[in-house]
Chain A
Amino acid sequence: MTPLAAHAAIRFGLGNRPEAQLPADPRAWLTGQISPLPEAPGPSLAEAFAAQRQRQRDPTSQAVSDLFRTEALAWSTRMITTTAPFAERWANFWTNHLTTSRRAGQATVMLGHYQRLAIRAHAFGRFEDMLLAAYRHPAMLFYLDQSGSIGPSSPAGQRARRGLNENLARECMELHTVTPAAGYSQEDVTTLARLLTGWSVGRGAPANEPEGFLFRARAHEPGDKILLGRTFPEGEEGGAEALRFLAGHPATHHALALKLARHFVADAPPAPAVARIEAALRDSGGDLAAAARAVVAAPEARAPLRKLRSGQDYAIAVLRALGLGDEGAPMLLGTLARLNQPLWTAPAPIGWSDEASEWAAPEQLMRRLDWASEIAGRTAAAGVIEPEPLGEVLLGPLARAETMAAARRAGSVREGLLLLLASPEAQRR
């Protein structure tokens, strides 16, 4: 493995696999992955709603947790075995950007569907299409309380004396699009909340409603609305237009470029890298494939690895290096929970942190060490792989000579494997 190939596999991908034959041209290997991903199969929204209803009828029903587990195992298998690891990392980045979480119970059963169809399916499309798909997905509508937000002057609002919930509107402006750098006001947040009134979730066949997004005109706040100086019309299209406007705002392009550079280059990303990704977004009208090409081309991304792996990154990279298949999927899920990053369970709408200060915490590193120790024991007992080939797959030319020497002369295979898995360079990407 050449240093550039190692960078491609570790910084941009999810870590190398033993059988992977990295091509001589790592850049071409990465850009070759920038095209729409083949659809990942899984349960439909109708099945998710049916599971939800079953549990409402019978509180002891396992339907919801079974369906969540099916989705989570499928995702885990994809992460461990994929041959397009840059494309999957890219999709995970956007899943985290537009976070939905098990912390909102109603969304749980739909989180896999959300990841596959609202995010992953749009990973190399236009950002506005991804944003709209996310905001029309019941997982997001439930997670950020949009489904029950009602225009106070709408017929439904007048009758039920209920009103706005500004949670989605606030996180839209603060986290998903323009960010506070755009200098918006509380009034703008409230206006966006009014624009989005009526964006709700159908209750399915029993209520003669769709299983998914439903625009409830009776809950929509009437009248034109002015957001950041722009007038948007009443109705479903007004909200969609406002979201497209925010998605294409220069402040959004800057915020997305900064976040991408922080993910792929360094916690404090160099300004030229941010500027080039920003320009790619601006010049392409928010095309995420163009942004991905700019990220891959960034010369700053050839500097030594400075990013610290998140718990998820670390666990996936280790299981890939061991060459596991779908039998590793349950272990990946358990490990994510142990490393304080359970799948699709971010504690807040801002998602998981992408900075070393969050992950270089004493207890976090101790848990990684515990897990590495356990894995080393299991792997040695099962005779899966010897230290030297593991070092070549996991770290390649990025392994320090001292690490490889210690792993080679370790008193047992188990200890040799542990020294590689728990080495400081294995924490970098």
Chain B
Amino acid sequence: MSPNLRRRSFLLGLGGALALGGSRMALAAGPPGEKRLVVVLLRGAMDGLSAVPAYGDPAFAALRGPLALPEPGQEGGVLDLGGRFGMHPSLARLHALYAANQALVLHAIAGPWRSRSHFEAQDLLESGATQRLPDGWLNRALSAMPPEPPGAARRGLAAGLDVPLLLRGPVRVGSFAARARNRPDTETLALLARWHAADPQLGPAFAEGLRARGFSAEALAGQAPPPRGVNGFLVLAESVGRLLADPRGPRVAAMELDGWDTHAAQAQRLGNTLRVLDEGLDALRAGLGPAWSQTAVLVMTEFGRTARINGTQGTDHGTAGAAFVLGGAVRGGRVLTDWPGLGPGRLFENRDLAATMDLRRVAKGLLADHLGLGAGALARAFPESGDAPPLPDLVDRSA
């Protein structure tokens, strides 16, 4: 291989594959960790009391008015989680995973912030800190993992057109959205890549984009472009599952889904968005195939919504809400909560579900028990979080 060709191949992210000549060699270079972690950000604040209604709480029905769905067993009723809580009927697939002990629910959960601003709270959720940081906790967690073997994809993968703050930081991550067309010839790309490399802002992103395309096209060979008009989140989730399933693919991915800011006419809008989430999570599972058994998925949002409905059949920005952890490696079939109650005097500032669990504990529990991060790495991922120790027993450690 001439030096020129090698440089071009490297720029296209194919260098490793050509040099190693297949996955057998990649394995010989040391087996990569097999555990997979996916974080799904629900942007806009999911209403936890609609996704996971506390129908067993005596104050629930009065607070929620027409947003309170019928109890389990009735027509259009919630799907039971064991007598106190239910799951919204649009989350039928997630409920089936719960029944198969592969999904667990966390309730009355929130981050340590008390901001009701979407933008501030999302930044804090992704920063993993009580102040905004320029990088995200998942990227800092990646920095504690060994670098990917030559020829393998980046360990971290951002699904979608942008890299969320959660995955920004010193460790380079891959990015995947859709298949490329109109690709210029290799020589021109190599020249453009060299020009961009001199620009500190554009250089890393441009190189990463080329690399991601080389890899994604390879892993998804034969895949037709997604048809128009289908659930884009579903298509993306299925592709992310396949990339994660690849023996040389990424191991940590972040996805996002918006449409949760239901200030008005919540019943219909939220039902649709929950269904998109439900179908997307199921597509992720399908895409992962057998690797699902080594996967944990954390689904979280920036804050919950008001316990009472507002004047326009919706809910306003609140405090605590619900989160989900699912996957073949998860010890599911449980609702983990220290339920604060919804009755008189129990609501935070007389309007929101009170927070009794720190969301960082869940993330730290997964980083510790699923990805095997030590105490030092956890402290770097979540600075000043000594009061939020890792939540134990989220996953089956022998899986």
Q: Which residues of B lie under 8 Å from residue A162 when comparing CB positions?
A: 311-312
Say if the beta carbon of B129 comes within 8 Å of chain A. no
Q: Evaluate contact between B311 and A163: CB separation under 8 angstroms.
A: yes
- Which of B1-9, B94-102, B206-214 participates in binding chain A? B206-214
Q: Which residues of A lie under 8 Å from residue B211 when comparing CB positions?
A: 362
Q: Evaluate contact between A363 and B314: CB separation under 8 angstroms.
A: no
A123 smallest CB distance to B (angstroms): 25
Q: How many A-B contacts at CB < 8 Å in the complex? A: 133
Complex CA distance for A340 and B258, rounded to whole angstroms:
14
Interface of chain B residues 255 through 285 with chain A (CB within 8 A): 258, 261, 263-264
Q: Evaluate contact between B310 and A174: CB separation under 8 angstroms.
A: no
Please judge, given known A-B contacts A362-B212, A424-B202, whether A148 and B191 are in contact too, CB under 8 Å. Answer: no
Bitwise, A157-178 to B at CB < 8 A (1) or not (0) is: 1000011111100100010000
A interface size (C-beta, 8 A): 49
Say if the beta carbon of A403 comes within 8 Å of chain B. yes
Q: Which residues of B lie under 8 Å from residue A347 when comparing CB positions?
A: 43, 258
Complex CA distance for A373 and B176, rounded to whole angstroms:
20
Q: Evaluate contact between A364 and B161: CB separation under 8 angstroms.
A: yes
Please judge, given known A-B contacts A418-B188, A419-B192, whether A165 and B176 are in contact too, CB under 8 Å. Answer: no
Q: Evaluate contact between A308 and B182: CB separation under 8 angstroms.
A: no
Say if the beta carbon of B198 comes within 8 Å of chain A. yes
- Which of B111-119, B289-297, B327-335, B381-389 participates in binding chain A? B111-119
Say if the beta carbon of A366 comes within 8 Å of chain B. yes
A250 smallest CB distance to B (angstroms): 21
Interface of chain A residues 397 through 429 with chain B (CB within 8 A): 400, 402-403, 406, 415, 418-419, 422-424, 427
Say if the beta carbon of A209 comes within 8 Å of chain B. no
Q: Which residues of B lie under 8 Å from residue A367 when comparing CB positions?
A: 161
Q: Evaluate contact between B202 and A423: CB separation under 8 angstroms.
A: no
Q: Evaluate contact between B180 and A366: CB separation under 8 angstroms.
A: yes
Q: Evaluate contact between B264 and A165: CB separation under 8 angstroms.
A: yes
Q: Evaluate contact between B191 and A363: CB separation under 8 angstroms.
A: no
Q: Evaluate contact between B117 and A180: CB separation under 8 angstroms.
A: yes
Please judge, given known A-B contacts A362-B212, A366-B210, A419-B188, whether A165 and B316 are in contact too, CB under 8 Å. Answer: yes
Q: Which residues of A lie under 8 Å from residue B160 when comparing CB positions?
A: 363
Q: Which residues of B lie under 8 Å from residue A148 when comparing CB positions?
A: 264, 311-312
Please judge, given known A-B contacts A152-B311, A165-B314, whether A424 and B198 are in contact too, CB under 8 Å. Answer: yes
Please judge, given known A-B contacts A180-B120, A363-B161, whether A167 and B316 are in contact too, CB under 8 Å. Answer: yes
Complex CA distance for A369 and B160, rounded to whole angstroms:
17
Q: Which residues of A lie under 8 Å from residue B116 when comparing CB positions?
A: 170, 186
Q: Which residues of A lie under 8 Å from residue B158 when comparing CB positions?
A: 361-362
Identity of the chain A residue whose Cβ is nearest the Cβ of B178 in the assembled complex: A363
Shortest Cβ-Cβ A-B pairs, 8 listed: A163-B311, A362-B209, A362-B175, A366-B209, A362-B208, A148-B312, A162-B311, A340-B161
Please give 15 more A-B residue pairs, beta carbons under 8 A apart, in addition to A366-B209, A424-B198, A424-B202: A145-B314, A148-B312, A164-B311, A167-B263, A170-B117, A308-B201, A348-B118, A361-B175, A362-B206, A363-B177, A365-B209, A366-B212, A377-B182, A403-B195, A419-B188
Could you write out 24 A-B pairs with CB less than 8 Å apart?
A: A164-B310, A165-B312, A166-B310, A170-B317, A174-B117, A186-B116, A340-B162, A348-B261, A357-B168, A360-B202, A363-B161, A363-B175, A365-B205, A366-B210, A370-B181, A370-B182, A377-B182, A415-B185, A415-B188, A419-B191, A422-B184, A424-B195, A424-B196, A424-B198
